[in-house]
Amino acid sequence: MQHQLNTWMVKGNSEAGETKLHDFLPDKKQPLDPDTTADEAHDQTNTGPDIWMEVRMLRDMVVEQKVELRNMEARLRETEMQADDQKLDLLLTKTSLEELKRDHTTTEERLRASQKQVEELKKVNMEQSEELSDLRARLDASDKRVEEIKKVNVELRGDLENQAAQLLSIEARVTVGDRELQLLTRRMDDLQAQNTAQEVELASVMDRMNTTESSVDSLIKENAKVAFYTALTDSGGVGPYNTPTVLKFSKVFTNVGGAYSPTTGFFTAPQKGVYYFRFTICGHTAKGLMGVQLYHNGRSIIHNLEHKDNLHFEYLSNAVTLELNVGDELHLVLPEESAIFDNANNHSTFSGFLLFKM
C-alpha cells in the first residue's frame, strides 16, 4: 500500500510541476565519472545534496515500479482469462435458456393440437348421440307399426299370410336396428374411454408445461446481474465537516441492476451472494486529514485515514469481498474534520459487482 501511495505521489508531483529527474542530472555533454565527481565534491562545501545518492534512489524506484507494472500486467491477464470464462458460462446458460424456450413452444403446440382433437371428439360424440336418438325414435316408430300390424291382423284374419310376411319383415328390421344400436353403444363407450385417456394426457402436458415455465423463471433469476461504477463530484473539494457525512457518488457511469442509489449514496443488495467492492479517495488540500469509512448495515468495517502536509495529489484505495443477504446496505462516509477532492477527471470513485449468487 505504501509503495502504491509513493507511485501516486510521483505522478501527483509530475502534475503539480515538481522537479523531474533530468533537473538533478548534470549536463549530458559532461562525463559522469563517479571518482572525478567525488573529488570535486570534496573540494566544494558540504552544503549541496548528494546527487549520486538521489540518482541511485530514483533508479531503484524506477526498477521497483517496472516490477510492479509487470505484476499488474500479469494480474490483468488473469482477470481477462476469468472474464472469458464467465462469458463462456453465460453463453452456455443462454443456450440452455433458448433450448428450454423451444421445448416450451413445442409443448404449447402439442397442447393446442390435443385441445383441437378433444373438440373434434366432442363434436363426433354429439353427432353419434344424435344418430342414437334418431335410431331410438325409429325403433319406437317400428314398435308402433308392429302394434298396428297386430291390430290389423286381428281385424283381418283373412289376410293372415300377408300380415305374417309384413310382420317377419318388420321383425327383421327391428333385429337389424338392435344390432346397429349395440354397435353404436360400443362405439360410444370406446369414444368415452379415448376421451378419458386424452384428458389424462392433457393433464400430464399441463404439468410438464408448468415445470418448464418454472425452470425458465429459475434460469432468469440465476442469471441476474449486478454491477456499478461511480465518481464523486465535479465541484472539487468536499469537506471538512464537523460530523461524519455520507458520501453520495453522483456521477453514475454503470448501474446494472439498479442496486446503487446516487440520491442516498447507498448500495442495496438485490439478492443473496458474494460481492466485490472497491473505492479510491483523492486528497488535494495543503494540510489536514483525508480519509474514508466503509459501512455495512450501519457498522464500520474499513476506516482509512492519512495526514496531508502539501498540495500534491494523494490517494487512498481499498477493496473488500463480502457475503451479503437480500436488503443488506453498504455506503462510504467522510470522517469528521477530513477533506477529499474530485473533479471532471474522476479522482474519487466507488464501484462493485456480484461475483456469484448463493
Q: Give the residue extent of every domain in the chain.
A: 95-222, 224-358
Query: Domain 95-222 belongs to what architecture?
Result: Orthogonal Bundle (1.10)
Q: What's the whole-model pTM score?
A: 0.41
* Structure confidence by residue, pLDDT tens digits, 327-349: 999 999 999 999 999 999 999 99
Give DSSP secondary structure letters for 270-328.
SSSEEEEEEEEEEE--SSEEEEEEEEETTEEEEEEEEEE-SSS-EEEEEEEEEEE-TT-
Q: Which CATH class is domain 224-358?
A: mainly beta
* Structure confidence by residue, pLDDT tens digits, 176-231: 777 887 887 887 887 788 778 778 877 876 777 676 556 545 544 555 799 999 99
Determine the Cα–Cα distance for residues 332 and 135; give it in Å rounded to an integer.
Answer: 89
User: Residue 9 pLDDT more than 80?
Assistant: no
* Structure confidence by residue, pLDDT tens digits, 33-52: 444 444 444 444 444 568 99
Which pairing describes strands 349-357 and 340-342: parallel, antiparallel, or unpaired? unpaired
User: Residue 140 pLDDT more than 70?
Assistant: yes
* Structure confidence by residue, pLDDT tens digits, 10-29: 444 444 444 444 444 444 44
Determine the Cα–Cα distance for residues 220 and 213; give it in Å rounded to an integer.
Answer: 11
58, 6 Cβ separation under 8 angstroms? no
Q: How far is CA 137 from CA 131, 141, 166, 188, 198, in A?
A: 10, 6, 20, 18, 32
Q: Where are the beta strands (DSSP E) in 189-298?
A: 227-231, 236-238, 245-246, 251-256, 267-268, 273-283, 288-296
User: Residue 100 pLDDT more than 60?
Assistant: yes
Per-residue model confidence (pLDDT) at position 298: 94
